[in-house]
Structure 1
Amino acid sequence: MDRVMDAARLRTLVPAVIGTLGRRGADFAAAEDAVQEALVEAVRVWPDDPPRDPQGWLVTVAWRKFLDATRADTSRRRREVRVEEEPAPGPAPDVDDTLQLYFLCAHPSLSPASAVALTLRAVGGLTTRQIAQAYLVPEATMAQRISRAKRTVSGVRFDRPGDLATVLRVLYLVFNEGYSGDVDLAAEAIRLTRELAARVDEPEASGLLALMLLHSARRPARTRADGTLVTLAEQDRGRWDQALITEGVAVLQAALARDRLGEYQAQAAVAALHADARTAAETDWVQIVEWYDELVRLTGSPVARLNRAVAVGEADGPRAGLAALAELDPGLPRYDAVAAYLHERDGDRAAAARLYAEAARAAANLPEREHLTRQAARLNAALRG
């Protein structure tokens, strides 16, 4: 083993170690706490004294931490915990509990925010501080959220099959969140989804992985040096990561070949068509509309219908896009922004400027608000000129 194991590799061992403690009698919450303490110890000790068997070392130390906590807490807990003789250091059992941890951490009884936090900690191996920094909340707030989530799932049997669709939604939430601190949540979501896709016989897991890879490929071109947004049509496609695109397309093609289409595969197909176009003008909008038709059929999602209206406007002209948009609820997020774009393309700059300003007021984040405000200001300046 290398002198120092990198943090990402260390985090991959966490699910197996939690699972081992669970089979020895620890409940999930206690096992997860003990493993976090063992990780802190590993960071302190391993640089000077790296173990030959990292996973076995973590199991041994985490079990000791669990025993210490159990003995110190017996007067309060009022229940027996079966404690066998402390096992000697050595190879950890070759049992993979990662999939069950995915299911447990994305249990339907948890709120999306709690499921995300618990997944990042128990499956991803991140510390509470790292998760709090990534979500720009105080560490104490995140600690309470994780603690409540662990209490919620404390009675869930560890060996029951879970809901894969919920796990995929949680991973997609992680990917789509903003990030800060020392952890790139998009990269973490890709790592966890890659692991999941290798463990399940489900094309949708691969479809989600492909979608993440294809979206990540465009990330270097999405913002300017000052942090302002760059629209897809204006992005420098030379900055797109071709290796990620190649991998994403290959993963998607393998998933589609299984002939079990799902929403993530359909979304990834749209992303692949954007990635395939050398310029914005060469985008195959007709085929993109067809994929959005599939996505609407699969999900009925109003967001999919909204994106379809944009694609229709590109494929068949802005009037057709506005007609498709008129069938939707004006209260949808981004409705005004889409309407503004289509009205501008149709030549109605006054309506577009007004709608851009309204969209800016409703924008969910600062970069988007600033982008929409600039669009409104640009059109107003042109109208005055």
Structure 2
Amino acid sequence: MRLKDIEIFAVSPPPPGWGGRYWLIVRLTADNGITGLGEVYASAVGPRAMEAVIEDVFARHMEGESPENIELMFRRVYSSGFTQRPDPTVMGAFSGLEMACWDILGKARERPVWALLGGRMNDRVRAYTYLYPAPGQDADRFWIDPDMAAEAAADRVAEGWTAVKFDPAGPYTIRGGHMPAKSDIALSAGFCAAIRDAVGDRADLLFGTHGQFIPGGAIRLAKAIEPYDPLWFEEPVPPDDFPALAAVARATSIPVACGERLTTKAEFAQALAHGVRIVQPALGRAGGIWEGRKIATLAEAAGAQIAPHLYAGPVEWAANLHLAVSCPNILMVEAIETQFHDTLVTGRPRVEGGFAQAPEAPGLGIELDEAVAAAHPVTTDRLHLEMQEAPCDWKNGNAFTGGAAD
């Protein structure tokens, strides 16, 4: 069995676009006719440029190879261009292609992917959700109103969710780490207080920041929210500053989490060595399913847990779930339960009562609905997510609008 053909589906989710401005889904076909799906997570280039990268990685390093030879293909890509170092764009392309190889292998053996990763460790996996505004709500107000967030959290807990994530701490800025405005610290504490009051001990609070702060600013913020006992403090400093991660981890009782912007075990090993206790690989960027399994093992050896990140489409979600089923140190997986996630593929595992069951179908257990994909083409060359150039507004306050496409 050899890899023969590649197709790329650039899909734009309808407004408000939870999961990003576009999703890049790949489908590989082996010479025996078996197909496999994968998904490439957000990249630093536009969708058309990224499609060219994906095609190049496949033709250069994977076409004609057995889909079984995951490690060999990974080493080719990791070493390409005389680099032998993490490259988020090239490894993102490989990550989606690698997922598709696992889908092919599972179908060829008539077993779910988790069965090829060490078997079923977990019959079901705990899931968490981001807090999003409901249809018809004032979306601008939602991101800065603790009472609206608390109401949304109470609704999610009533549905069975046991963990909710939110990030009211300020701008998503290109300017790197900064000192948070005092108003942002107060707003963050207000969100934590209102949500904790609404859910009590029925759910964990997951506090995100998107790598915005210098260590001193992150520590000030951590001290303000510690009384509400969040389960994690996500990416408190820029993702490339591992000593800063260590400084924050030493200064707070809240477990530090990170990983959505890291790639390969090399970077996750650094994060773990600098005090991260919860790793959050996005499998469409981190190197794929096999690299995700290695990252989970590194975390297990360090006494840390894994919580795969999701701000993408339903193919990465399926890959995350198969990995989670196989891991003894899984904490939870991020889920996005929109109608479009559900209709773009058939067989998508759903979250019910806050948990997702281990999939039983061969491979990833999903198939792309080509008609739905064709009806939602990408018509923009903007990036999957974008950061603002304006600095922190210390006078008027700040808001992060949850990654909604505009």
Bucket of the pairwise TM-score, normalised by the shorter protein: under 0.3
State the TM-score, normalized to the length of structure 2.
Answer: 0.25
Question: Whose relative contact order is higher, 1 or 2, with alpha carbons under 8 Å and at least 6 apart?
Answer: 2
Q: TM-score, normalised on structure 1? A: 0.26
Bigger-Rg structure (1/2): 1
Which has a greater percent of helix?
Answer: 1
Q: Which has the higher strand share?
A: 2
